[in-house]
Amino acid sequence: MMSEYGGQETWQEDLYSLLRSNGVELFCYVPDGGHKTLINRSIEDPEVISVPLTTEEEGVAMCAGAHLGGTKSVLLMQSSGVGNCVNMFALIKNGQFPFVTVVTMRGEFGEMNPWQVPMGQGVQPVVEAMGMHCLRAETPEEVSPTVQAALDMAYKSNQSVAVLLTQKLIGAKPF
Amino acid sequence: MSDDRSLDRKKAVPAIVGDPTDLLIVCGLAGASKDMAHLTNDGDNIFTMAGAMGGATAMGLGLALSRPDKKVLVVTGDGELLMNVGTLATVGILKPANLSILCVDNGHYGETGYQESHTQRGVNLELIAQGSAIPNTRTIDREEQIPEAKKILRDSNGTSFILLKVNTEPPPSIKRSMDATERKVAFRRALLGIA
């Protein structure tokens, strides 16, 4: 039996290494079970700045500010957080800021909490409506190449990209 | 608690900020962006907004964390800050020494017809900043306090927050660039030498 968000350790460790080897030095997050390994690694790493947010939209503006200073960043959030960000995505779009957010999905494959469903269904149309690319990773093998693609699109083509770590990948939280 | 609003932002903001050339500046939408675009002649060390309300302090925080070698000044208004006042708590847990926040509090939403803001009705943003663990905070509502405010913004060894209470006189008028991409590129070219 998979534990809650079980089986993620290997790909999450690989994902952290990938973000670091691409020069990401600012990790902004709202605490999230699906991002637990990534968040903990960023807190323990003396070479990065790890910032817990009160709301995800702070992270959008922080990542833009960090880019003004020359620092690469990532925003880690859950699907519900995407809804909190929508107007702040205007800053990313108007300024053509490179932007990568890694979103753990709730409210889709096997969801047992109905409160997660509306935003789970809303994530992709919302981010695409705000001019961002939306890439999905369904299996552990897809995670690193998808996030690498997002980082390249952001930092080489000034694009904004949401990578969705799907519920099929991370597992449904038991209720 | 003082509720004196006799200071005019057109005099008080330049007096507190002083020479802006050595600062990196992020401004919240509307009045604060006009105050600072006027003072800097919309220079390459300033990023102003005309939207993304509630994002100025977080954007300045990201810049301050990125560039600890530079003094970063956020200038915002009471309405803009109230929209994401929780960001003060995120600033307060990090306390970057190179970050200063100047909130120009006229108690109103000037851009939309001068409706009263929450600060006109008893909400005190300096106390919220204090309660958010920001180490150096002051409320400034008299001309003789301006040198002290300037010193705190410039020299404090820890994040500072100045609540500048002003009357409802409008900000200076200036034709500033609304092209955020062009402003981003100019800012990065001046600071980093790259687009």
Please determine, for residue B190, whether its predicted confidence score (pLDDT) is greater than 70: yes
Distance, in Å, from the CA atom of A105 to the CA atom of A82, rounded to the nearest integer, reads 10
Report the residue from B67, B87, B183 with minimal CB separation from A54: B87
Predicted ipTM > 0.85: yes
Q: Are strands B136-140 and B160-165 parallel, antiparallel or unpaired?
A: parallel
Question: Which H or E element spans position A128?
Answer: helix A117-129
- Whether residue A50 lies within 8 A of chain B, CB to CB, comes out as no
How many Cα atoms are found within 13 Å in the side-chain-facing hemisphere of A122? 16
CA–CA distance, A103 with A125 (Å, rounded to integer): 14
Q: pLDDT band for A2, please (50, 70, 90 cuts).
A: very low
User: What digits encode the pLDDT tens for the residues A59-111?
Assistant: 999 999 999 999 999 999 999 999 999 999 999 999 999 999 999 999 999 99
A49: which chain B residues are within 8 Å (Cβ-Cβ)?
65
Give yes or no for residue A129 having a pLDDT over 90.
yes
Q: Which pLDDT score, from 0 to 100, does residue A3 have?
A: 44
> Per-residue pLDDT averaged across A32-51, rounded?
96
Chain mean pLDDT for chain B:
96
**Test the A interface: residue of B59, B82, B99, B101 with most A CBs within 10 Å:** B59
- Judged against a pLDDT cut of 90, whether residue A8 lies above it is answered with no
Interface membership of B49 toward A (CB under 8 Å) = yes
The whole-number pLDDT of residue A7 equals 58
Nearest to A133 by CA among A121, A142, A123: A123
Q: How high is the pLDDT of residue B4?
A: 82
Residue B128 pLDDT > 80? yes
Q: Are A68 and A129 in contact (CB under 8 A)?
A: no
Question: Residue A168: exposed, middle, or buried by beta-carbon count in 10 A (0-12, 13-18, 19+)?
Answer: middle
Which carries the bigger pLDDT value, residue A173 or residue B136?
A: B136
By residue count, chain B amounts to 195
Q: What pLDDT is stored for residue A175 in this prediction?
A: 78
Residue A170: both structure tokens together: 């991370």
A9-170 is classed CATH 3.40.50.970: yes
3-state secondary structure of A43: helix
Alpha-carbon distance A140 to A142, whole Å?
5
**The pLDDT value given to residue A18:** 98
Kindly determine whether residue A95 and residue B180, on different chains, have CB atoms separated by under 8 Å: yes
Walk me through the domains of chain B, giving residue ranges and CATH numbers.
Answer: 9-192 (3.40.50.970)
Distances (CA, A) of A97 to A73, B178, B188: 11, 15, 12
* Closest-approach residue (CA) in chain B for A91: B52
pLDDT-derived band at B175 (thresholds 50, 70, 90) equals very high
A52, pLDDT greater than 80: yes
- pTM, rounded to two decimals: 0.96
Q: Could you state, in order of their start, the residue ranges of all structural domains in chain A? A: 9-170
Nearest CA among B54, B179, B55 for reference residue A96? B179
Chain B residues touching A71 at Cβ < 8 A: 62, 65-66
Determine which of A126-140, B1-15, B97-111, B151-165 has the lowest per-residue pLDDT on average: B1-15
| A1, pLDDT greater than 50 | no
Report the alpha-carbon distance of residue B177 to residue B135 in Å, rounded.
34
* pLDDT computed for residue B3 by the predictor: 62
pLDDT, mean of residues B13-39: 97
A138 contacts: CB under 8 Å, gap ≥ 6: A166, A168, A169
- Does the pLDDT at position A4 exceed 80? no
Q: What pLDDT sits at residue A9?
A: 67
Per-residue pLDDT band at B156 (split at 50, 70, 90): confident
Give chain B's end-to-end CA distance (angstroms, integer). 47
Q: Determine contact, residues B57/B101, Cβ cutoff 8 Å.
A: yes
